[in-house]
């Protein structure tokens, strides 16, 4: 298949590009800025520049079979850029003859999300599902990049780990290899609908953090912070330039996702799921290799 990936320079977009290339598909994509560095990273021959909310070359989507929407603008006040920009790309691809499109959403996508990211993802989920397209809704992807990768670096380079409410809140996780394998199957199947990709058993934030430190042989002091104090504490630390594994938006999203409203499709798609320990072991080994 001829597959186009927006946000091809992001952690998930570039990983997905490599996966689909290895599976024999023709892959092209778009980035927000100069594509020169991205070509050497993901190995694709055709990279265009598409910035959400700005004019772009609609011919990029001609003679493509599938468009996978991975691009997201994380800048402040970017709701319109993300929602209208992604819809504009969808319409341009549709006008160019692309029949199948897939939107990369998130486990935190909810109508009542207290953070813009979750609300944006929910709005776009609704749009793509109404259009008879695919929505891919992963949990926290454990790998050497993206949100987990950034937080892994903070945890493994700090002697102290603060845990809101002792880290008892539960997190939906998925190993990067499972995410790639399941997403490839979804794209190749051509079946529309929403797919929830995460391990069936959710883990606590404390379990995840302790396991990460154990695999990395990193010693850390855990500090339990009552949730009522956490927002104040995290805001104060951010003003001082001190980064922690959970920021204010992460905390709000984590609290909002504690009522579990999705059922996992991972085992149905793959037949099994990678354990947290196996996924963490891979992420840590890549982190140490990169850091060496």
> Residue 44 has what pLDDT?
72
Extract the runs of DSSP E, i.e. beta strands, from 158-278: 160-164, 170-171, 173-175, 193-197, 203-204, 221-225
> Residue 234 has what pLDDT?
60
Q: What is the mean pLDDT of each run of 10 residues along the chain (292 residues)?
A: 93 94 92 63 71 88 96 89 96 97 96 91 98 98 93 89 88 97 97 97 95 94 75 58 60 79 95 96 88 58
> Residue 25 has what pLDDT?
94
Q: Could you tell me the two tokens for 104?
A: 């990369």
Do residues 120 and 83 make contact, with C-beta atoms less than 8 angstroms apart? yes
> Residue 237 has what pLDDT?
56
> Residue 75 has what pLDDT?
86
Q: Which of 147, 137, 119, 121 is nearest to 260 (CA)?
A: 137
> Residue 255 has what pLDDT?
77
Q: What is the DSSP string of 143-160?
A: SSSHHHHHHHHHHHT-SE
Task: State pTM to two decimals.
Answer: 0.90
DSSP 131: T
Could you say which of 3.40.50.720, 3.40.1830.10, 3.40.462.10, 2.30.30.360 is the CATH number of the domain covering 2-142+172-202+260-272? Answer: 3.40.50.720
Token pair 């190993």 in the structure block, residue: 175
> Residue 239 has what pLDDT?
61
Give the containing element (helix H, strand E) for 28.
Answer: strand 26-31
The residues, ordered by sequence, that sit 6+ positions from 192 with a Cβ below 8 Å of its Cβ are: 129, 132, 133, 134
> Residue 49 has what pLDDT?
82
Q: Could you tell me the two tokens for 276?
A: 């947290």
């Amino acid at each position: 298949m001829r597959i186009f990936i927006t946000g091809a320079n992001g952690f998930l977009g570039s990983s997905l590009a490599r996966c689909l290339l290895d599976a024999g598909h023709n892959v092209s994509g778009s980035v927000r800025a100069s594509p020169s560095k991205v070509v050497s990273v993901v190995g694709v021959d055709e990279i265009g520049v598409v910035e959400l909310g700005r004019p772009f070359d609609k011919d990029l989507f001609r003679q493509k079979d599938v468009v996978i929407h991975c691009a997201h603008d994380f800048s402040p006040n970017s709701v319109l850029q993300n929602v209208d920009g992604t819809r504009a790309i969808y319409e341009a691809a549709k006008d160019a003859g692309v029949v199948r499109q897939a939107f990369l959403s998130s486990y935190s996508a909810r109508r009542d999300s207290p953070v813009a990211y979750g609300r944006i993802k929910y709005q776009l989920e609704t749009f793509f599902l109404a259009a008879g397209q695919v929505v891919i809704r992963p949990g926290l992807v454990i790998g050497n990049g993206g949100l987990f990768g950034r937080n892994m670096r903070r945890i493994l380079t700090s002697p102290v780990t603060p845990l809101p409410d002792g880290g008892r809140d539960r997190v939906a996780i998925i190993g990067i290899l499972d995410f790639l394998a399941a997403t490839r199957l979804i794209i190749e199947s051509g079946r529309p609908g929403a797919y929830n990709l995460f391990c069936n058993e959710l883990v606590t934030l404390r379990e995840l953090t302790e396991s990460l430190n154990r695999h990395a042989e990193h010693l850390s002091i855990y500090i339990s912070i009552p949730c009522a104090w956490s927002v104040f504490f995290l805001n104060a630390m951010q003003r001082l330039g001190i980064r922690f594994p959970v920021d204010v938006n992460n905390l709000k999203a984590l609290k909002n996702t504690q009522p579990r409203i999705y059922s996992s499709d991972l085992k149905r798609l793959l037949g099994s799921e990678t354990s947290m320990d196996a996924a963490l072991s891979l992420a840590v080994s890549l982190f140490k290799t990169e850091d060496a």
